[in-house]
Amino acid sequence: MNTIIIIITGILGATSTYYVNEHLKQGAVRASAVLSLIVSLAFYCFPDVLDPYLTQNIPAAFIGASFVGMVSSKAIHHYRWLIIAGIIFSVIYLNKSTFFRGYGGALGTSAFIAILATMAIPVVFSKKKNITNGILIFRKWLFRDKDE
């Protein structure tokens, strides 16, 4: 049950941060910071509401998932991809080990890996099955017209 709650936290963290960033026009950093502060303060003020494992891990999982939600709408623009990225982040978070120590932060690194994995899904499952297709998509995204 704890695993499901952490996965739901990852989904909520990614999608709510993206919503506040894109639809309420608050910016990625402000959206992540405000939502993470609210969740962290709630668990700090009421530590006995849930299991100690969840009280300790939900704020950290939400903060990391909010890093996923900071993604640009030009990179990931559908909520279904954010949900997938939130799930991937949660799985990485649940299975993390000491491997991420020294990489500038496990939460940010895990969020980066989740976003890259999510962006690779359409390329991997494309009908052309050609790796150059992925390179062309990345090149098109990288050198896109800034006015779009």
* 75-116 pLDDT per residue, tens: 887 899 999 999 999 999 998 766 666 666 788 888 999 998
> Where on the phi/psi map is residue 76: left (φ > 0), alpha (ψ -120 to 50), or beta?
beta
Q: Is it the case that residue 13 has pLDDT exceeding 90?
A: yes
pLDDT above 70 for 28: yes
Indicate whether 4 pLDDT > 90: yes
Query: Do 69 and 32 meet the contact criterion of CB atoms below 8 Å apart?
Result: yes
Angle among Cα 112, 118, 104 to the nearest 5 degrees reads 10
Task: Provide the residue ranges of all domains of the chain, joining segments of one domain with +.
Answer: 2-142
More confident residue, 124 or 11: 11
pLDDT given for residue 76 in this prediction: 84
Per-residue b/e over 68-102, b at no fewer than 16 CB within 10 Å? bbbbeeeebeeeebbbbbbbbbbbbbeeeeeebee
Q: Which residues contact 136 (CB under 8 A, 6 or more apart)?
A: none
What stretches of 46-78 show up as alpha helix (H) in DSSP?
Answer: 52-69
